[in-house]
Every structure is written in structure tokens, then in C-alpha cells.
Structure 1
């Protein structure tokens, strides 16, 4: 099996596949004015058959983890079928989704039956009023019910993503820790990242994850080793807590050295970096099963263009206008 490798000897086992740009939340740091189709988003999103072909090509190139992203992936009516299509690849051992959670209470058992192995839910505050203010949706209790439903459906651990924002939630660590003390939840604080649409918000609310890391270490939390197909989180555990804490710190030195993931947008472009300058079109090779070899070759060849690091420190956010654009 050929392994996807770039010029810096980084190996890629992890595909983040966006299946829609559409989202029904209006998070302040992503889509504060709601979803508005523009540019490439006016094209149709990848079909079920195209998703089947693209995940097969990655699986046959050594990918063993696929994360379905958006927008909000569950807004696709065929979302359960998409999970099942990815599951057809025996080489794919992990199928994950990042969701705002609003449909979990209703559908999560069905997703698990289709083959979903892990869930990340976005929750930026445990205060229902602040949750409403950040997301534009009064659905806090609905999302929390969805987490309960996921545990009932058999998921042993849930990951919860919280974008770290100065003056909004960066002083809420103790509330979050109390929440995960008896719950098998990996709470992941993600540093606010600058995007083309939100420069002013970034300057107002960005704070380094070091603030949280220092507090954790002072309280006896221990950093855990990183597995091959893990995402970029630094994971910490504590013997008195069932839950874990993860920190995603893209502004930290050497963040890109362990990169193991590639992204495909909802319209079929391969993105070598969330903050890169352009995408490599793949959709012309997704029309039939006869083009699988050519598709794999184009993906592998494209890795020669992957740069050693992003350029966020210089304020260069590439073509990413907002985090729903490529799926974060």
C-alpha cells in the first residue's frame, strides 16, 4: 500500500472531509451573519458516490482515519448513508464527525449503527445564555441532551471542542473541569485562529492556550503521548478525573511538525493546509470508478507542494475566509 508522504517526511493517515459548507449556527468566530453561499459554494457538494470514491482512494493510500466535517455535516439528509459509505473501506479504522450537536439526540444511535466511531461536539460555554450569545442559537439543552444520547448509544468517550476566547470563556476552566470530573469527555480548548473574515475579532479575543496549560500543570495534570492518527491536540489527564483536557495551539512553535492530516472541501478540492493559498481539484477524477489510480496519483503528487508550516504568525490566513470554508 503506498503511503502519502510529503517532502518533509511527514506521513498522512488522517483525512478531514467536508461534506457541506452549510451551517445552521451563527458562531461569532465563524459565521456571525449566518451561512451565505458564495463563490465555489454555489456548486453542488460532493455526492454520495463521489464521497465513496474519494475515501476509497485515500484508504488505499494508507489513510486509516476520516473525519466528516462541514459546515454542519448532519444537515445533509444522506449523512447516515455517507457514514456507511466510508465504513465500506476496511482500511478506515476510525470514522469521526465534528458537529454542533443539534441533531444528536434524534440521530446519534443511527450514526453509530452506520459505523461512526467517534464524535466531536462544539460547545464554547456551559452557560446557556452565553452559549446562545456565541452560537446565535438557543439550543444548549438540546446539545447536552445529544451528548447524553451518544453515551446511551454506546460511545465510550465524547470529545467536546471549545474555542478559547479572551473575556468570553478563558476564565471558565474550573467550570469545565467540574463538568468532566465524572464524565468520560475529552474537552479540547482550541486557540482562536485568524481568518480572512474575522481579523478584528481575532485581535480582540485571541489568547494563547499556554494560559490553560499552565493552570493544568499546576493542578497536577499530565501530558499524554500522541498516537499516529491523532489530531494536533496536546492531551492531559488527571487521576481524579474521568475526563481529559486537550489543547490545540496552532500558534505554538513546531505545531506543523507533526502534521498528519489532509483536507478535502465539500466541492472536491484537496487542501494541503487549512491556511494554504489554494486547493488541488479532484472532482474531475470522481466521475467513475475507472479513475481511481489517477486520483491516487494526483493526491500523492500534490503533496510535493505542501509547505513546512502555515504562516499564521505573519497574519497570512491563505484563502480561508471562515472555518466552515474547508471544514476547520
Structure 2
């Protein structure tokens, strides 16, 4: 146990690992339930393990408070599908009420977006990522298992109308499925001010066969973009490992998240907490450290922060995906992607 003077210094310092990386971004899952059946994540749909008990609003408030004290400025509310929580708007307000948090975002499949975009914006949400893996309704249905393409697209329009600072579209690159969609996506962002992010397929604990069949290297897309006149933007502190590209004649931008690129982990700036209160230092390689016992009362903040600092010392330099080590993560919905 740290002595009180030392503990005071630790509490006031930003989360940093032994490789000098500083962490100001928390991806906070609030449920692992999802109503879509995306082929690269939950192909058989969501199946609960018993009766799950996800973090309560009070536990979320205490978690956000602790992370805010150690330098966290951005929180992304994730899932599963986070908007399935009946108290999702209340969760947004809890995060927005914390003075340390400057950027509040969420990632959603968009199925509730059309009806609730303005409500969420008014509660304090400012950035939103919507998963749209294809602009072909038939391929969208094939990948997601849901015939909701038109509904999701109307939701994106509602988000743009509501006034979000940034609307991003996430698409997982899948060879033999949506790899022919790039021209459609480019046509869409020509006159639409959104950020389109292509995410390279990552192998998880249950996905070897799927990965080998559908992995498409992000480096190939990058080469194509550069050849077509797109320019690599100077990275900002908010970008993390993403590489962003722009063209003066396009209103939208393109981002690439390429976990198999060299030095991908060098710019890591994010931590994850699962819907059941486990801290994950990486999307892969480890099973998480329980924080829930220290989320019950605000009086536990100092001890919680001490645990956070102690765990950051254990963070590894890389995810080791290049060596085929996928860790214990069975699917990305389990810890919020």
C-alpha cells in the first residue's frame, strides 16, 4: 500500500504506462447485449451467460469520476449495442456532468438513432460513430443479419440534423463481401460531411477460419487512396492509432484503422472497461482486472485510482497480433470493441 504522501502524487498524475504512453481516452462499455448478428462479431446472435448484471448508473458515475481525476478527457460509451440500455440518456448525462470530460462519444449500430438523435445530443453527447458495413442493402443484411439499412441511414441523417460535432461511419473491411463498396462510400462522402472509417478485420479467439477467409489488409486500401490523390493528414492527439486522409474536393474524410501495421500500438491512448466493470489494458492478450469492488462508493476513489495506476505498469508494448496471438477475447462485443 502506498503511503499517503506518495498516493497523493499518484492520484494527481495522468495515467501513463512504462513505455511513456499517456491515456486520456476511455472506452466504457455499458452492455454486451446486441440486437444485430454481424458475421465478424456475433454471427449466432447474442447469448447471455446467465443473467448479466451490468454496471449501474451509480457505478458508472464513480468510474467516470476516477478516470476524470487521472487525465481522461474523452469517453466513448460502447457495447454490445449501448443504446439498448433503457437509461442510456441518463448515462450520457452522468458523463456530461463531469467537468473533466471534454469529449463524449458513442458507437452504435444506428437502429435507435432516427428517433433519439436529438434527445442524446441535448443530453450532452457530441460525437457518434455508426456502423455501416455496406451501402448495398442486400450486403448490409448479409453482414449484419438485420434488414435495417434504410432505418440506419435515416438515423445518420437525423444525427447530422441534430448538430453533432462529428459523425463517423465505421465499416469493417471484409474480403469477398464489402470490398467492392469503396466507390459507393467515396461517392457518398463527396458531398456529405462525415468521417468514414475502414477498420481492418482483427482475428479474435473464435475467428480463425473467418479471418483467413475475409481478412483484407488495410495497407492495400491506403495505397489505393494515396494513388487516387488522397493525402495523409497530420495526426491529432484524438486520432490514436487511426490514419486519416482528406481531399480538398471532398467534404468527408477517410480514416484507416490498421492493427497489423508496423508500430500500430505506439500511439495507443485508450483504455477499456467492460460492462461488468473489468479494466482491459488492451483489446487482446489479457482477461481484465476487476474494478467493481471499488465502484460502490465515492469514498473508494483513492483506492480505485491507485489500482488504475498499478495496472498501467503491467501494460504490454504491443498486442502481438502479428504473431497470431489473439488472447482471450472471444468477440469484440464482450468488451466494447
TM-score where L is the length of structure 2: 0.95
User: 1:89 offset after TM fit, Å?
Assistant: 1.0
- For 1:97-112, list aligned pairs within 5 A: 97-112=106-121
Unaligned runs of 5+ in 2: 1-11
Aligned to 1:151: 160
Would the aligned equivalents of 2:29 and 2:273 in 1 still touch at CA under 8 Å?
yes
The counterpart of 1:200, out of the listed 203, 209, 220, is: 209
Matches of 1:43 and 1:152, distance apart in 2: 36
Aligned to 2:311: 302
User: 1:174 offset after TM fit, Å?
Assistant: 1.1
Deviation beyond 3 Å, 4+ runs, structure 1: none
Higher mean C-alpha deviation, range 223-232 or range 98-107: 223-232
The alignment's C-alpha RMSD in Å is: 1.0
Q: Deviations over 1:99-158 (max 9, x none)?
A: 000000001101000100100000000000110111000000000000000111112431
Matches of 2:286 and 2:26, distance apart in 1: 19
Aligned to 2:329: 320
Number of aligned positions between the proteins: 326
Unaligned runs of 5+ in 1: none
Matches of 2:224 and 2:97, distance apart in 1: 43
- Secondary structure in structure 2 of the residue aligned to 1:242: coil
Matches of 1:183 and 1:21, distance apart in 2: 31
The counterpart of 1:4, out of the listed 15, 34, 38, is: 15
User: 1:42 offset after TM fit, Å?
Assistant: 4.0
Aligned to 2:222: 213
Would the aligned equivalents of 1:64 and 1:229 in 2 still touch at CA under 8 Å?
no
Matches of 1:165 and 1:43, distance apart in 2: 31
TM-score where L is the length of structure 1: 0.98
Aligned to 1:164: 173
2:296 maps to 1:287:
yes
- Secondary structure in structure 1 of the residue aligned to 2:63: helix
Q: Deviations over 1:289-320 (max 9, x none)?
A: 11011111101110011000001112211111
- Secondary structure in structure 2 of the residue aligned to 1:67: strand
Higher mean C-alpha deviation, range 273-282 or range 22-31: 273-282
Would the aligned equivalents of 1:173 and 1:212 in 2 still touch at CA under 8 Å?
no
Aligned to 1:19: 30
Matches of 1:157 and 1:114, distance apart in 2: 16
The counterpart of 1:116, out of the listed 125, 147, 164, is: 125
